[in-house]
Amino acid sequence: MMSRMPRQVFISHASANADLALRICNGLESAGVPCWIAPRDVLFDGTYGTEIMKGLRECDVFLIVVTDAAAESQQVEREAERASHYKKRIIPVLVGQSEPGPRLEFYVAGRQRFPCPSVPDERFLNSLAEAIRREPSVQTGPPPPQPPPQPSSHHKLIPLAIVVAIAGAIGAGYFMVGRSPSQQASLVDSRPPSEGTQPPGSGTTQPAAAAPPPAGRVSQPTSPPGPTETATPLPAAPARDPAASPTPAAPPATGSGAVSAIVNGVGLRFVSVPGGDFRMGCSTGESDCDDDEKPVRRVSVDPFQMSATEVTQELWEAVMGSNPSDFPGTTLPVEHISWPDAQDFVEKLNERRDGFTYRLPTEPEWEYAARAADSAPPDLTAVAWFGLAASSARSSRPQRVATKAPNRWGLYDMLGNVAEWCEDWYSPNYQRVVRGGSWVDSARSLRVSARGKAIPTTRDYSIGLRLVRQRQ
């Protein structure tokens, strides 16, 4: 393979601004400043995240193309966190009237900002190149391990791998995806470990928005128990180290009655969730709530059936014929899927006409099922894979479904592993709700009332889905 010239400037940008970022890249290189930019410089024989981390470590300057899309991007936030961790010189380029917002403000505060016209002209590019050349290079080696900085607000969602490359560097320490106060990914600087391994990792969090959660009764027909077909169990998990993965708890007292949806021989178990009323929003005694979790309101939910686990890659491939996941594994949750992707999956399931209508859960249904009529906060190390956790709960990648304990209603991984798309809008015509937090999130993002958000077209290695169904 041909050797690559050293990279001086790493250009971080939202995927929606790829053309703009490439224009800046080309302008800088025309002025004699070498750059690294994805996807141009991602080698075909490496994982996406590993290549990004390599480019980031080898750069002297970390340049952020700040746009409205970048201000909402988990990916850009995570890259900024790593650049800060590696003590890179950070240069924010503010395009038009854009501001960094709560995700990026922490990393650009106190740094010289470069206002950029919507279409970068030669004068601007030459001025930026000259400013880059004026400063001495920064040491490229990583500093001693340290916890990631914690931005002031929270969580919701986007491309792989920043997380894979960092776990080894930070040890024990971040969508909704979505949305949680601070959210930084933990990664290992190598290809993703094989399925079922549980290397150490760290986590991140994300900023919050102030849209109140939906209230009112969830209108759904009462759903009788499922079909009488024999339930097809989920693929059996191999023997696991008790210290790394607690044995699931005894069968739940309520919410049982498992029934299956079977597609091309692959099953997804559902449990019947009883209807009832609950207090939706900031949990009693919780002091770490965000504004969008308030005010607390009483919500009524009709009975429904929810999949016992997140949708696996095996089932996704059986339905869709392909697997988009960044971390392959048949019994791992599918991830790297957008909200429209999830709707396509649901539509194909419904085309089978098996007597049920499948869909994503509403946000009230999701929170009701996650609480499982339990007023006490869950023991996260027992029920969740997440970042910034100790020993058994720590993860630097998604893990096999149903390897942690279920909640009282028999639902696995409601918190952690991958965050889950919901049916509702978070902010009308802009962001969808994502709930549950993920393997890259901190404990704060895994509170049952914590709300995540993401632009519907977001595809992230920390977001998947869970299904609800009702009889037709």
83: which 2 tokens?
């650049």
pLDDT at 109: 87
CA distances from 106 to 74, 168, 206, 290, 356 (A): 14, 24, 12, 18, 47
Question: Which pTM does this prediction carry?
Answer: 0.53
SS3 state of residue 420: strand
Do 210 and 295 form a contact (C-beta atoms < 8 A)? no
Cα distance between residue 162 and residue 116, in whole Å: 27
**Strand ranges of the sheet holding 463-464, from the earlier edge strand across to the other edge:** 451-454, 431-435, 419-427, 463-464
Please, is 470 exposed, middle or buried when counting C-beta atoms within 10 Å of its C-beta (0-12, 13-18, 19+)?
middle
pLDDT at 151: 36
pLDDT at 118: 87
CA distances from 126 to 24, 27, 115, 118, 123 (A): 10, 8, 13, 16, 5
Cα distance between residue 154 and residue 442, in whole Å: 10
Q: Is the torsion defined by CA of 181, 14, 165, 60 positive or negative? A: negative
Cα distance between residue 151 and residue 210, in whole Å: 16
Cα distance between residue 69 and residue 76, in whole Å: 10
Please, is 300 exposed, middle or buried when counting C-beta atoms within 10 Å of its C-beta (0-12, 13-18, 19+)?
middle
Class of the CATH-defined domain 152-472: alpha beta
42: which 2 tokens?
């991602």
- Provide φ and ψ at 302, rounded to 5°: -80, 160
pLDDT at 278: 96
pLDDT at 40: 85
Give the domain ranges of the chain. Answer: 1-137, 152-472
Contacts 24+ apart (CB under 8 A), 30-35: 30/125, 31/125, 31/126, 31/129, 31/130, 32/129, 32/133, 33/8, 33/9, 33/129, 33/132, 33/133, 34/5, 34/6, 34/7, 34/8, 34/9, 35/7, 35/8, 35/9, 35/10, 35/11
pLDDT at 169: 36
List of E strands, 1-145? 9-12, 35-37, 61-66, 89-95, 114-116
Class of the CATH-defined domain 1-137: alpha beta
Consecutive sets of 10 residues in the chain, 472 residues long: mean pLDDT of each? 58 92 93 90 66 85 94 88 87 92 87 90 92 61 38 38 38 39 31 37 37 38 32 36 35 50 90 95 85 94 96 97 94 96 97 95 98 90 78 71 95 96 94 93 90 91 95 88
Cα distance between residue 453 and residue 176, in whole Å: 5
Please, is 390 exposed, middle or buried when counting C-beta atoms within 10 Å of its C-beta (0-12, 13-18, 19+)?
exposed
Please give the single-letter amino acid code of residue 361: P
